[in-house]
Amino acid sequence: MRTAYSVETVRAAERELMARLPEGALMARAAAGLAAVCAELLARGRGRVYGARVVLLVGPGDNGGDALYAGARLARRGAGVTAVPMDPERMHPGGLAALRAAGGRVAASVPGRADLVVDGLLGIGGRGGLRPAAAALVERIPAGAAVVAVDLPSGVDADTGEVAGPAVTADVTVTFGAYKPGLLTDPGASRVGAVRLVDIGLDLDGAAVALEAPQHADVAALLPVPTASSDKYRRGVVGVVAGSEQYPGAAVLAVAGALRGGAGAVRYVGPAADAVLARFPEVLVGRGRVQAWVVGPGLGSGREAEVGRALADTDVPVLVDADGLRGLDAGVVRGRRAATLLTPHAGEAAALLGVARETVEAGRLAAVRELAGRYGAAVLLKGSTTLVAPGGGGAVRVNPTGTPWLATAGSGDVLSGLAGALLAAGLGGVDAGSAAAYLHGLAGRFAAGGAPVVAQEVAAALPRAWRSVRD
């Protein structure tokens, strides 16, 4: 897992380490790592550091201090380094002295041309939207310059990824000690560019993880593999309650996802059986015993009783998606014994929370946590960065795979079927949701290959995604 920690946790680890080290040691480590990445970028872009034009945007705190010390290192290697302060009266004194001693200069405004801009305005001490003095500097970042953010892009909230107003968009973010949730969660995540983690010696073993991003090996360890003694019932039967006369395709796509999710069998319940069977003759039709239900894709309106019936099967895991989420009763969900996984997109999450869609989009992490808490269930919030929160609180999973091409009709139906199959195989709600999102994202990338993709191609690419994870 790639793990991210809250600012509070990082600060506590920092205090503990600082108490054991000489003053300035941590900042020196941070600045050395930052300067190394900057030098690498300059060498890649223009062949050498010597003679490069480097601009430092310098905030009033330690984030600015990191930038100044790194700037001093680049100046010593022959770069022309100009520091532009947000507030000329408040600059890290030691960093400023180091930069000056190395031949760097301070200017009141951002030069019109630069090879590299180092964003040292705000780090984990930033609060709320950028104040005007900071925003004015960000607006003047010269076009064509590579932008390196120090710790995180200024204007991005470290704990939530929220972006209130202007913010830096970086090519590379050099972060210290640990990932911060805001680097992995949109809208912040789309501002960070490539993230480089610099080890400064923080000890976070045993600290509470705020957000975790599974990697191939984590997902491989979760995926069910049939053994010699497996039969179709042991592998899990997933029941799919989906589709309507108006939306028969949703049933076909949810079943397609379920079939490729490792279930022993898929049982379909609903009015689109002909369409499902025409496509997948291996599907069982009609009610019967299942190890998990997927209920909701393409149901249309007026089918609440079917959702209620699935949820009433309290010993069997249930995934509720799309139309199934409408008017979902939190009391019923909380009363279930087996896992429940809710898979809303931002609009559905907003309806459940009684807020505007924009509120969910702007604060995805808060929204998914709130929903999971209210329903006491795992919640998978679909979107540019898919998040999965556990019902009982704790680390939220963020999906690192995926592609914007997946924002296509029916893609969510495939995901539901896939996650349902993993529930049927015995995975818990968070594991099933996050493993499904991971495979679905990879399949989307494979199917798209940089071109538009349709949902059935995503389902068809799922076996390749499984293989790539298990390799």
Ligand X SMILES: NC(=O)C1=CN([C@@H]2O[C@H](COP(=O)(O)OP(=O)(O)OC[C@H]3O[C@@H](n4cnc5c(N)ncnc54)[C@H](OP(=O)(O)O)[C@@H]3O)[C@@H](O)[C@H]2O)[C@@H](O)CC1
% helix / strand / coil in the chain, to the nearest 5? 40, 15, 40
Given K ion, ligand X, none, residue 119, with its beta carbon under 5 to 8 Å by kind, binds K ion
Count of residues that interact with ligand X, criterion CB under 6 A: 30
Q: Which stretch binds K ion (CB under 5 A): 154-162, 365-373, 383-391, 398-406?
A: 154-162
Question: According to CB under 5 A, which one of 14, 66, 119, 413 is a site residue for K ion?
Answer: 119
Question: According to CB under 6 A, which one of 4, 30, 110, 341 is a site residue for ligand X?
Answer: 30
Q: Which stretch binds ligand X (CB under 6 A): 99-107, 121-129, 244-252, 330-338?
A: 121-129
Q: Binding site for AMP: which residues?
A: 382-386, 412
When asked if residue 159 is in the footprint of ligand X (CB under 6 A), the reply is no
Nearest approach in angstroms of CB 38 to ligand X is: 14
Point out which residues pair with 380 in neighbouring strands.
Answer: 388
Both tokens of residue 205? Answer: 């073993």
Kindly compute the dihedral angle of the four CA atoms of residues 294, 295, 299, 302, in this order, to the nearest 10 degrees. 170
Q: Binding site for (6S)-NADPHX: which residues?
A: 62-66, 123-129, 151, 250, 298, 345, 413
Q: Which stretch binds ligand X (CB under 6 A): 129-137, 190-198, 358-366, 405-413?
A: 129-137
Spell out the residues 6+ positions from residue 23 whose beta carbon is closer than 8 angstroms to its own. Answer: none
When asked if residue 126 is in the footprint of ligand X (CB under 6 A), the reply is yes
The answer to whether residues 115 and 82 touch, using CB atoms and an 8 Å cutoff, is no
For K ion, the closer CB: 92 or 440 = 92
The set of long-range contacts for 191-199, using a CB threshold of 8 Å and a minimum separation of 24, is: 191/149, 191/153, 191/155, 191/156, 191/163, 191/167, 192/149, 192/152, 192/153, 192/156, 193/147, 193/149, 193/169, 196/33, 196/37, 196/172, 198/29, 198/30, 198/33, 198/34, 198/37, 198/174, 199/33
Residues numbered 169 to 208 that lie near ligand X (CB under 6 A) are 176-177, 200, 202
Residues numbered 50 to 109 that lie near ligand X (CB under 6 A) are 59-66
Neighbours of 229 (CB within 10 A): 6
Task: State the amino acid at position 51 in one-letter form.
Answer: G
Task: State the amino acid at position 44 in one-letter form.
Answer: R
How many degrees, rounded to 5, is the angle at CA 73 between CA 71 and CA 76?
110
Question: According to CB under 6 A, which one of 24, 125, 308, 376 is a site residue for ligand X?
Answer: 125
Q: Which stretch binds ligand X (CB under 6 A): 23-31, 324-332, 390-398, 418-426?
A: 23-31
Q: Give, as one character, the DSSP assignment of residue 105.
A: E
For ligand X, the closer CB: 60 or 324 = 60
For ligand X, the closer CB: 118 or 223 = 118
Given ligand X, K ion, none, residue 128, with its beta carbon under 5 to 8 Å by kind, binds ligand X
- Nearest of 80, 68, 58 to residue 28 by alpha carbon: 68
Contact positions vs ligand X (CB under 6 A): 10, 14, 26-27, 30, 59-66, 122-131, 134, 150-151, 176-177, 200, 202
